[in-house]
Every structure is written in structure tokens, then in C-alpha cells.
Structure 1
């Protein structure tokens, strides 16, 4: 018997909604055909994982089957740039104005100018990269140590990611690294993580600046693990603080994006919990 879990329904609904958004944003670019083929491939992989997990007992297969929407999230994030201007053009100028009103200067420009020491830059780059470590560790700890809560935790993390990505459709913002020109957008040099950060920056798309999903998701991981894995929570806190600062330092976000990312956490978690409680499961 094949069981469609809550996270599967979430995944299929997200693909359905964003496919409609892609159709509404359609132009003659070959990229759109590639996007449709990619999401068809992702749907196929998801269904293959669901099917074979019901037939074969395998730890790796079961792990992938339970968290594949989380793994696909990076592709879903980058594709928002193709439909995030369906309703509005980029709203960066308003975020820049708000930063100026709040701080009297542009934090996303001045922060890295004032603290341009390679050691400090390395610390910031490690902080920004920490999100990927947080998510990977979240997946493994949840699957191997929190079996009883794993379906709920995977669902809430995946739902949180996808809710952020849907919001980007209605509030498009490219971020400082795309809005400003050189030298304002240039990053200070560092050591080991210098090349890694430049690769990450090149892979970024001009989308998803407000609110900062980087900030929001890192805090959501902390909240979900605060009582369940208290030692993880304590160890992760300093890295998350660095991460929040780094989003502005590396010019991925305006300061108000990071603030909005913090404010969004209880809202996104409330919606994720609501979806978890109200999403059905099906047996085929």
C-alpha cells in the first residue's frame, strides 16, 4: 500500500500553485521550458521515492522519501525569480529608503566597509554558510534521533521554506548585491571561505531579499529544536547570530530584510503548524 503523507500533499500543492504562476509569467525564453521540464523531473523523483519506499526497506531511501521537499528547496528558491514580478516590480528602492530612515545610512554598504578585516570577513562568511549546515544537521538529527516527531518536523521545515518562497512572489526584491553597482556591492576578501562565498554569490538570483528566509529558517530550526535537542540549540545560537549579521555584511539583504526575517518566524511557524494539522493523508 502506498501512503501519501502530509509532506507529499504539501509538495504537490506547491508545485501546482507555482506552475500556475509560471504559466501566468510565461514568455518566449527557453528558460521557461527548462523550468517546466525540471519541475516535471522533480515530481517524477518524488513519486519514485514514494513508490519504492513502500516496496523496499532501505534507510537511505526512507530518509530521502521523508525529506525530499527540503532537498528540492534550493531549486524552488532560485526559480522564484521567474515569477516574482507577476504583480509588482522589484521594491528595493523602498527597502533602501527604510534602511536610511532607520539607521541614517545603508548598513548593507557600510557594514562591510567599516569591518573589512579578512579575519572578520571569514567569520561572516562562515556565519552565512552555517544555514546549510543547520539544515543538513536538522535532517539527520530529526530522522535518526527524533523518529516520533520526524514527520511533523520535516513538514514544518519544508512548509516554512515554501511559504517564504510564495511570499517572494508578492514582494519582489533583488537585494543589495544586485541593486547596487561596484564598488558598493563588492565583498571584502577573506581566507578559506572567500572562494566559497563568491561561488554562493554567483549562484544567487535577484530574488527573495524580503524577508530574509536565511534568517527566518535558521531561527525556525532553533525553535523546533529548542526543547527537543537543547544541546544543539545552545551550540547553534552563536552561529545563528553570526548568520543574521552576515546576511547584511555580504549584501545578500538589507538590514530591514533581516529584521523582517526575525519578525516573520512566529507567523511562518503558526501557518506551518496550521497546515500540518489540516493537511490530509491518503492511502492508495
Structure 2
């Protein structure tokens, strides 16, 4: 059974966040259940790794090298259970920053001026396009750029997990959870994508992970990778990303400073991902580790 860098990254994330969950035992009632789920996820992950040399299938190979991305959605919602180990919700700080930068609350005012059916549907499409972008990037890289596939998926996985760690350090519920219900009402005059996103928000969204915006940050990371490896994909996704950035504020998933922070931190995270992927341990260091 041969472990790749993405395996060390993912299993290391599981270990560290499992420790955070245990440390949150007094704050979370179902820690034991969450740890069991993690055990199942670990077993599935190890199954992919172990069976990879045995199962000769392009589809299985795809899953084996991208399985951390498949589990990413679950680990986003799970951060709500350990994101207050160091601070309570920092929403008041981000609200003040928005007020200081813009002189008003973009997450409350944006929708008031553009609340028609076309704009609403466009914004919900923009937010949902995050899933299209990730899925499209994974599939196109696998079938068109196999030489760069493993490295690229490692970097996307690194960025996702890195944002989840940040959520644990800087907890923020976001406008859709923090503001009074009368203030945080979202548009209901959209169509298909609005209904899809309302279902996702009702079943998967948690009062966590608002700062910085992982939707924006991870999308920017993908665009930066695709700019050289998949230029056509980059050109197609560029205007969609602009909609995605606007949509995060429009549907009240994020404060404006969340989207700005996600945009600015993305190149830093990509640099760290590139560094960790290409870092080579010296034989002497490996020898010491074996001791």
C-alpha cells in the first residue's frame, strides 16, 4: 500500500481535527458519533489506497486520487463542532470592518437594489457554480492533463482543508445566521438554482466558515492553476467567478470582507500548497524520523 502526498495531507487533517473534536467534548454532544463517522471515512480512504494497484479501472483511479475532494463538503459542515475552541463568533468584528470600508452593510443592502427575478436567479447560479467549477476542473484535468492531475488535485485539496483550519481559528456564522431574521431574509423570487441552493442551505449549511470565503478562495486557486494548464477552462470560468464573488454577499452567505479575504489569501494558500507538494525530505531527515 503506497501512500501519496495527498493521502498524508488528508489523513493528517483527519488526525488533527479529530484531536480538536475531542478537545470540544464539552461543547458538542455527539463527538463520539462524529468520531465514528471519521473512522468510516478513514476506512473508505484506506480502501481506495489499498485497492488501487488491484482494481484496474479509470473510474476507480479517478476516485482514488480525488477522494479527499469528495469528502470536503462533510468536513466543512463539521467545523461548527470545534470552531469555538479559541474564540467565540467574530461576526461583530467583520460587521464593523464592512461598515468601516463601505459605510454600510453590503450583505444587507445589495439585495435591496437588485431584487428582481433575473438577478436573483443569476446570483444563485453564481453561488452554485462553485460545485460545477470543482467538478469540471477535476474531470477535465484527469482526462486532458493526466500528468498534472495528481499535483493539481493535491493543491485544491490543500486549499479546501486549509480554509477549514482557518474556520476553526476565526469562527464566524455569516449574515444568514447572525443577523436578525427580519434583516437576513434572502430573495425568494428566483427559479431553479434558487430552489437548489435553498435545499443545500437548509440541509448542509451551518453557522460556521464565513471568514474567509472558501467559495471565493478555492475558486481563485483553481483559476490560478487553470490559467496555465487549462486556458479555455480558465476563460470560461472567469466571468462565472465574478458572479460567484457577488453572489456570496447577495445571498448573505458572507460579509463583503469575507470575500475580499478569500480572494487575497488564495495566492498565499496556493504557494503553500506548491511548496509542500514539491518539498523533498533529505535522506538524513528521513533516517532520523525512522529512529
SS in 1 for 2:76: helix
Question: Which of 116-125 and 181-190 deviates more?
Answer: 181-190
Moved segments of 4+, more than 4 Å: none
- What is the TM-score with the length of structure 2 in the denominator? 0.94
- Write out aligned runs for 1:68-217 (5 A): 68-189=67-188, 190-202=190-202, 203-217=204-218
Shift of 1:267: 0.9
Structure 2 residue runs of 5 or longer lacking an equivalent are 287-291
Q: Deviations over 1:148-169 (max 9, x none)?
A: 0111001000001000101111
The equivalent residue for 1:44 is 43
The 1-side partners of 2:122 and 2:206 are apart by 23
Cα distance in structure 2, aligned partners of 1:28 and 1:133: 35
Aligned: 1:234 with 2:261: no
Asked if 1 retains the 8 angstrom alpha-carbon contact of 2:125 and 2:194, the reply is no
Go from structure 1 to structure 2 and tell me whether the alpha carbon gap of 1:265 and 1:28 turns closer, same or farther (over 3 Å shift).
Answer: closer
Kindly indicate whether the alpha-carbon contact (under 8 Å) linking 1:174 and 1:206 is maintained by their aligned counterparts in 2.
Answer: yes
CA distance in 1 between counterparts of 2:182 and 2:201 reads 15
**Alpha-carbon distance, 1:194 to partner:** 2.2
- C-alpha contact (below 8 Å) 1:6/1:279 kept by paired residues: no
Structure 1 residues 70-116: Cα deviation after superposition (integer angstroms, max 9, x where no partner): 11111111111100100000000000011011111100000012111
Q: Distance in 1 between matches of 2:250 and 2:56?
A: 46
Alignment RMSD? 1.3
SS at match of 1:227: helix
Give the 5 Å matches for 1:263-282.
263-278=264-279
**Structure with the larger RCO, 1 or 2 (CA within 8 Å, 6+ apart):** 1
Q: What TM-score, normalized by structure 1, do the two folds share?
A: 0.96
- The match for 1:22 is 21
Structure 1 window deviating more from structure 2 (121-130 vs 141-150): it is 141-150
Distance 1:30-1:86 versus aligned 2 partners, 3 A rule: closer
